[in-house]
Amino acid sequence: MVETASKKTPDDNRPRLLLMDGHSLAYRAFFALPAENFSTASGQTTNAVYGFASMLANTLRDEAPTHFAVAFDVSRKTWRSNDFPEYKANRSSTPDEFKGQVELIGELLDTMNAARFAVDGFEADDIIATLATEAEAAGFDVLIVTGDRDSFQLVSEHTTVLYPTKGVSELTRFTPAKVEEKYGLTPTQYPDFAALRGDPSDNLPGIPGVGEKTATKWIHQFGSFAELVERADEVKGKVGQSLRDHLDAVKLNRHLTELVRDVELPKAVAELERAPYDRAALKGFLEVLEIRNPSLRDRLLAVDPGSAEEEAPPPAAGVELNGLVVGAGELAPWLEQHGDQPLGMAVVASWALGVGSVSEIALAAADGNAAWCDPTRLDEADERAFAAWSADESRPKVLHNAKEVLRVFPEHGWQIAGITMDTALAAYLVKPGRRSFALDALSIEYLHRELAPAAADGQLAFGADDQAEADALMAQARAVLDLGDAFGTKLTEVGATELLHDVELPTSLLLARMERSGIAADRAHLEAMEQLFAGAVQQAVKEAHAAVGHEFNLGSPKQLQEVFFGELNLPKTKKTKTGYTTDADALAWLAGQTEHELPVIMLRHREQARLRSTVEGLIKTVAADGRVHTTFSQTVAATGRLSSTDPNLQNVPVRTDEGRAIRRGFVVGEGYESLMTADYSQIELRVMAHLSQDEGLLEAFTSGEDLHNTVASQVFGVETSAVDPEMRRKIKAMSYGLAYGLSAFGLSQQLNIEAGEARALMDTYFERFGGVRDYLHHVVDEARATGYTATMLGRRRYLPDLNSDNRQRREAAERMALNAPIQGTAADIVKIAMLRVDGALQESKLSSRLLLQVHDEIVLEISPGEREQVEAIVRREMSTAASLSAPLDVSVGVGTDWESAAH
């Protein structure tokens, strides 16, 4: 922390109280740090949290307070806004990225056992003034960190204001001398000065023609604001008349700038003594927000009042390990002695482009015994013993991210069975909305145990006298075992035990095989597509330059703003911190608002550039075997849907000619005769019809006619034959929108109609399908009461924000509550269908195999002569994966590539 004045030397005989203005400092941190550089994988912005935490750590370090508290505003409705409705009315709405971060800062303070105050009707400044006044009277030195200059009236011999003068990294110490140096006034005169000057940031009007110098001169001349008002007639000239004309306004200013010093608070100053942190909770909080900067964490922990007594978390029961670094011939007897009991397993492995290897394995038992080995050092007897133990269904094994092990073990000729628990999947089922399922974060949260990192790159640096790496991996294996016990109880509490054992664990096994198989790629075709898109990008660049009359960088937002809104003077779009936006929505809007060709060219340029990037990524992932081996994840989407990375095959478009052309690059592999695709028709709507039991919607599904035409005829009150394409489009968007929790505003944006028309359309829809309306209301009400939604299989999604005071967060949670049971049930059905199809293929001893699952579609590779039998299995198993009132409808297609296999 850099300061522009020397630090006050504390009196060892006086306690020191540090007070911070939470909202003021969080807002400064938000604008000091770029939001785009601080966010979690789920999209939660964290720049205000990070900046506040950094300032907090530095201030606690530099000032060494004995007592500490943070004050927050509750809302803009305070006694000041009651007395003056225009108070702060000029302030812009809170940025979306800032919303929710103050609540997170409150959670951070809770992990530090720090007191925080917020009182209805009062501002944080009033709370600080109350505490500072009480503390000084009780013999404290007081330090106030705030960005509000009204706090200068509190400055005294024993109260100092630390005022941020550069972001959140530089504080200026305002002592009485500093206030006088800056303003030529004493701290007690500052509110008089502020009343005369006015405050644009609070929407308090000043006196026309009167600046800071005149205000200071008057206070010196008359001694106080009250005396100036009493003798206002003595002030000569235009400024005197201006003063008299605005006396009521400045008297109100003076009333509003005076801080309240007697707010009723739940704690006295003596109760604000700093207490030791909940270090496990703090580390877990930082991990959940993906704030992994070691410097910040170390700075926060370094100022923990309990750090002297607790440098590390207390060891959990039974974590002392009798660890063995296995040499040749030692693993087999170790497994003979300990392998019958459940063992936690931790593995260091590498996997890239369909090829992998294991470099380390650690096993740990509940009795404290553990073993570590380097597979390359095992002898033949060890190899046989390990392979037999690994493949033995009766030997219980607990893993974290088991799919990674299931995928790579076959590289060594090993199979693995008897997995009774996957702690990552269990954590996901217990709390699907959490941001991290990393082992170290779970260990801190559930075991209060901090883990040392093992090898990060799969390469071991191990010496005869250095067991650190082996010990770290054995400790991880033990943590996995202990977490297995903890999650066994948690799964029972949330009713997810069967989901883990019957759905998620078998899905992991299947996905590991699918990842190993991959899908064949026509590299030449993909390279030709890449060249095609590259040419289209260059053509769009030429057309854009020609449309403007000169060259410019199409990838530069600043240059685009200059061209669109400066040179071309096109209609202004949404204002951002860096100017008017030129994102895709803005370009589409401009294309409809103006006849200029540039917005259309820019949209085409971005689409072709995106397609080129997609194909480039695909080409890079074609492995030596000519196949693409994507990685599936079961723990990314809170609804239970699978996602894929490296490459993300869900990014390959399906509804455009270009996307379909890309899909032609995925082909049948050598030794197989075709690809088969199968997916569910309108699965989300069928689930919604089943859950709502709406008779009209169920009838629409069983009528055999086009669903959207049938529904449109009922909503618009016309014969089915009279439904036009526009009616059908609106009803299709409406139906799917309801399944995704779409609001009337969202529907209006999607259909490009007025919000009122969208609301009327929804109202008419609900009149015809009252069961859907009642179901959606019931889902939200029930979730608000229980705190979660559940799928047909009992998969829960917890939504604490349903009861949030923040309207945006509450409404977002309501939309999630609407779609989670529908989307989650659909995801569950697809997983069950995959498992049933795979099981039937193996039971029939067919060599055809599953390759991909993308959205609601599965892709299989068909062996010669097996097509008819496989199609019969696919239709049978998928259509009976769940029993719905609106029967599951399966579409199947066959071809030599992914696109030609479409249906």
Does a cis peptide bond (omega within 30 degrees of 0) precede residue 647?
yes
What's the rounded Cα separation, in Å, for the pair 563 and 475? Answer: 59
Q: Does residue 816 carry a pLDDT above 90?
A: no
What's the rounded Cα separation, in Å, for the pair 305 and 64? Answer: 10
Mean pLDDT of the chain: 85
Q: In 706-769, where does DSSP find H-type helix?
A: 707-716, 725-739, 744-751, 755-768
What's the rounded Cα separation, in Å, for the pair 810 and 191? Answer: 39
CB–CB of 366/396 below 8 Å?
no
For range 199-206, the mean pLDDT? 65
Check residue 165 and give its pLDDT: 77
Helices 770-786, 695-702: inter-axial angle, 10-degree rounding: 120
Give the list of residues 6+ apart from residue 763 with CB closer than 8 angstroms, or none.
Answer: none
Q: Give the whole-number percent of the chain exceeding pLDDT 70.
A: 89
Could you tell me whether strands 519-521 and 627-628 are parallel, antiparallel, or unpaired per DSSP bridges?
A: antiparallel
End-to-end CA distance of the chain: 64
Question: Among candidates 176, 170, 246, 258, which has minimal Cα distance to 215?
Answer: 246
Question: Among candidates 536, 557, 660, which has minimal Cα distance to 601?
Answer: 536
Looking at the chain, the number of H-run helices and the number of E-run strands are 35, 26
Give 639 or 230, the one with higher predicted confidence: 639
CB environment 46-79: b (16+ within 10 A), e (fewer): bbbbbbbbbbbbbbbeebebbbbbbbbbeeeebe
For range 571-589, the mean pLDDT? 81
Q: Give the whole-number percent of the chain exceeding pLDDT 90.
A: 45
Cα of 646 vs its chain's centroid, Å: 20
45: confidence class by pLDDT, cuts 50, 70, 90: confident
Check residue 310 and give its pLDDT: 46
Check residue 799 and give its pLDDT: 83
Give 195 or 391, the one with higher predicted confidence: 391
What's the rounded Cα separation, in Å, for the pair 697 and 716? Answer: 15
CB–CB of 664/897 below 8 Å?
yes
What's the rounded Cα separation, in Å, for the pair 680 and 687? Answer: 11
What's the rounded Cα separation, in Å, for the pair 636 and 339? Answer: 33
Give 83 or 874, the one with higher predicted confidence: 874
Q: Lowest-pLDDT range, 314-318, 742-746, 837-841, 854-858?
A: 314-318
Q: Lowest-pLDDT range, 80-84, 407-411, 678-682, 727-731?
A: 80-84
Residue 685, class by beta-carbon neighbours within 10 Å (0-12 exposed, 13-18 middle, 19+ buried)? buried
CB–CB of 797/787 below 8 Å?
no
2: confidence class by pLDDT, cuts 50, 70, 90: very low
pLDDT in tens, 119-154: 888 888 999 999 999 999 999 999 999 988 888 989
For range 359-365, the mean pLDDT? 95
Between the alpha carbon of residue 857 and those of residues 724, 783, 851, 887, the distances in Å are 29, 30, 11, 17
Q: Does residue 309 carry a pLDDT above 70?
A: no
Question: Among candidates 674, 677, 679, 678, which has minimal Cα distance to 862?
Answer: 674
CA atoms within 13 A on the CB side of 52: 28
Q: Does residue 831 carry a pLDDT above 60?
A: yes
Q: Which amino acid is at 410?
A: P
Check residue 840 and give its pLDDT: 97
Go through the chain and tell me how many residues it has. 903
Q: Lowest-pLDDT range, 580-589, 750-759, 888-897?
A: 750-759
Q: Does residue 317 carry a pLDDT above 60?
A: no
CB–CB of 164/194 below 8 Å?
no
Give the list of residues 6+ apart from residue 903 with CB closer than 8 angstroms, or none.
Answer: 677, 679, 891, 892, 893
**What is the biggest distance separating any 2 CA atoms in the chain, rounded to whole angstroms?**
108
pLDDT in tens, 235-250: 777 777 776 766 676 7
Ramachandran bin of 788, using left for φ above 0, alpha for ψ from -120 to 50, beta for the remaining angles: beta
For range 336-362, the mean pLDDT? 93
Domains of the chain: 2-184+259-272 (3.40.50.1010), 322-518 (3.30.420.10)
Ramachandran bin of 100, using left for φ above 0, alpha for ψ from -120 to 50, beta for the remaining angles: left
4: confidence class by pLDDT, cuts 50, 70, 90: very low
Check residue 314 and give its pLDDT: 45
pLDDT in tens, 264-274: 898 999 999 99
457: confidence class by pLDDT, cuts 50, 70, 90: very low
Q: Does residue 459 carry a pLDDT above 50?
A: no
What's the rounded Cα separation, in Å, for the pair 578 and 599? Answer: 19
